[in-house]
């Protein structure tokens, strides 16, 4: 469960800002995440839907937020679970209606049991209904049923409802540029993520297992403010690092191999996302060091370029060319770097993008090419920068000493009016610093 840290004035301001973008008479209906069954009577740890959280800061499952204008002012109705002394003995305190109004800036708090009696009436007095479509089939069915009920009520003398409209693009644009308060939370998520990665590097020893490293990593997350991971941790040693989203995390660590760890902590709902690659025995060998320096150089240059005005795909192309030129200089491939990139051959070695938006979701919302043109960075956007090279173990066109090496280096960057801010700089990435850290472990 996400615990609120931002003040309710932040969520109130977001709701007001959203309604300013919608026609008069619009009603927004948002559904909280449900609890998800794992097996039997066991549920997965609950995590609130990011859209719902962004506009409400309300942490409980199954709630319904209704936001509309009344006489030009936002009115916020929340349907949520009612207090239940017996249920609270088993599962902990329920916020309830009185606390929702007092602590969550709710204008009208109603129990979920009353939603079918009152929500159709609210909808019937609206000209448009807005919601997030396509994320949960049950919610899509609920909103369509609500529209039918509202049409029946409106037909008795109310104005006709124009229909249901998807709110996603409007909120995505709001979420794309982070406020100072959000940037501070991302800094903290980056700081905690960096502590976890430092612990992971130190835990990677020959004879241990990938899950041993994962345990050290995630224990450090939990040790700092009880943070959970922001996505399932990738802990990939040796040739496993050539699998971009490796999930098994169960191989033994071998002397002479590298280990790639891609993981992040979630703080107050905001994600950290770091990748580091380090030698298990404490020293890079010749091939590992040469390839690592290619990736590190490309990553540092990409971070320098993270300034307002650069286009997302422009940054990716620049980074791709640097990586391919590095492979050419090492005689791993031959040809012209630009031609390799423009022909698509680059994907053989670098199949993913240079970065992605970061925020409440680790792959945060926001269109990369609005109107078909690559988006320019503006202050307040937050991106990851994560170039990598993956020399597949079965690629017989590569000399044997290079095969099975996978390297990725990733940091989180806030776009500002001037120099980019790296929120994850506390974990080492220069070869000298990594080897120095490992030389001091006990």
> How far apart are the C-alpha atoms of 67 and 74, rounded to whole Å?
7
Decide if 255 is catalytic.
no
C-alpha to C-alpha distance for 82 and 115, rounded to whole angstroms: 12
Q: Is 262 a catalytic residue?
A: yes
Residue of 228, 311, 352, 403 marked catalytic = 352
Q: Annotated catalytic, 386? A: yes
C-alpha distance from residue 418 to each of 175, 301, 379 (Å): 21, 16, 9
- CA distances in angstroms from 338 to 67, 323, 344, listed in the order given: 51, 10, 10
Distance CA 6, CA 106 (A): 16
The rounded distance, in Å, linking the Cα atoms of 212 and 202 is 11
List of E strands, 105-232: 108-111, 128-131, 164-166, 228-229
Active site residue 101: no
Question: Would residue 228 show up in a list of annotated catalytic residues for this protein?
Answer: no
∠ CA 286-291-293, nearest 5°, is 95
Of these residues, 9, 41, 397, 400, which one is catalytic? 41
List the beta bridge partners of residue 405.
391
352 is catalytic: yes
| Catalytic pick among 3, 73, 225, 245 | 245
| The token pair that represents 419 in the structure block | 């120099």
Q: What is the spatial distance between Cα 379 and Cα 182, in angstroms, rounded to a whole number?
A: 13
Residue from 246, 356, 377, 412 carrying the catalytic annotation: 356
Among the listed residues 210, 218, 220, 262, the single catalytic one is 262
Label residues 186-198 b or e (16+ Cβ within 10 Å = b).
bbbbbbbbbbbbb
Of the candidates 292, 316, 390, 411, the residue annotated as catalytic is 390
Give the C-alpha distances (Å, rounded to integers) separating 66 from 56, 93, 107, 131, 200.
Answer: 10, 23, 10, 10, 44
297 is catalytic: no
Residue 99 to residue 109: CA distance in whole angstroms: 9
Residue 303 contacts residue 422 (beta carbons within 8 Å): yes
- Report CA torsion sign: 247, 249, 253, 258: positive
Among 38, 363, 430, 441, which one carries the catalytic annotation? Answer: 363
How are strands ordered across the β-sheet holding 64-70? 108-111, 73-80, 64-70, 26-31, 128-131, 164-166
DSSP code of residue 162: -
Q: Which of 60, 273, 364, 412 is catalytic?
A: 273
Q: Which residues of 375-403 are buried (b: 16+ CB within 10 A; e: fewer)?
A: bebeebbbbbbbbbbbbbbebeebeeebb
Residues whose CB falls within 8 Å of the CB of residue 17, separated by 6 or more in sequence, listed in order: 174
Query: Hey, which residues are catalytic here?
Result: 41, 245, 262, 273, 352, 356, 363, 386, 390, 408, 410
């Amino acid at each position: 469960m996400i615990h609120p840290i931002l003040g309710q004035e932040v969520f109130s301001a977001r709701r007001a800002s959203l309604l300013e973008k919608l026609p008069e008479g619009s009603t927004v209906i948002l559904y909280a995440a449900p609890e998800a069954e794992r097996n039997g009577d066991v549920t997965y740890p609950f995590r609130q839907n990011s859209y719902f959280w962004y506009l409400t800061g309300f942490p409980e499952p199954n709630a319904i937020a209704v936001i509309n204008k009344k006489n030009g002012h936002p009115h916020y109705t929340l349907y949520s679970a009612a207090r239940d002394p017996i249920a609270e003995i088993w599962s902990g305190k329920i916020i309830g209606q009185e606390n929702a109004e007092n602590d969550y800036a709710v204008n009208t708090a109603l129990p979920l049991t009353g939603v079918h009696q009152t929500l159709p009436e609210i909808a019937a007095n609206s000209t448009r209904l807005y919601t997030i479509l396509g994320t949960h089939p049950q919610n899509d069915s609920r909103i369509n049923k609500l529209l039918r009920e509202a049409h029946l009520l409106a037909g008795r003398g109310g104005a006709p409802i124009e229909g249901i409209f998807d709110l996603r693009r409007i909120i995505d644009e709001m979420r794309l540029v982070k406020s100072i308060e959000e940037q501070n939370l991302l800094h903290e998520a980056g700081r905690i993520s960096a502590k976890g990665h430092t612990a992971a590097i130190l835990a990677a020893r020959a004879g241990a297992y990938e899950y041993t490293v994962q345990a050290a990593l995630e224990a450090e997350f939990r040790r700092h403010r009880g943070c959970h991971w922001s996505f399932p941790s990738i802990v990939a040693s040796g040739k496993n690092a050539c699998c971009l989203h490796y999930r098994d995390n169960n191989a033994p660590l071998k002397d002479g191999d590298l280990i790639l760890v891609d993981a992040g902590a979630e703080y107050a709902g905001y994600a950290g996302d770091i990748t580091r690659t380090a030698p298990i025995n404490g020293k890079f060998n010749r091939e590992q060091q040469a390839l690592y320096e290619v990736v590190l150089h490309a990553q540092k240059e990409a971070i320098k370029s993270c300034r307002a005005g650069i286009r997302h795909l422009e940054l990716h192309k620049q980074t791709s060319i640097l990586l391919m030129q590095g492979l050419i200089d090492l005689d791993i491939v031959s040809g012209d770097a630009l031609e390799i990139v423009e022909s698509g051959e680059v994907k053989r070695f670098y199949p993913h993008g240079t970065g992605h938006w970061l925020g409440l979701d680790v792959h945060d919302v926001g269109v990369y090419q609005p109107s078909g043109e690559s988006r320019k960075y503006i202050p307040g956007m937050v991106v990851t920068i994560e170039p990598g090279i993956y020399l597949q173990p079965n690629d017989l066109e590569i000399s044997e000493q290079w095969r099975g090496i996978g390297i990725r280096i990733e940091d989180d960057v806030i776009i500002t009016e001037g120099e980019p801010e790296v929120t994850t700089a506390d974990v080492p990435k220069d070869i000298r610093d990594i080897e120095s850290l490992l030389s001091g472990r006990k």
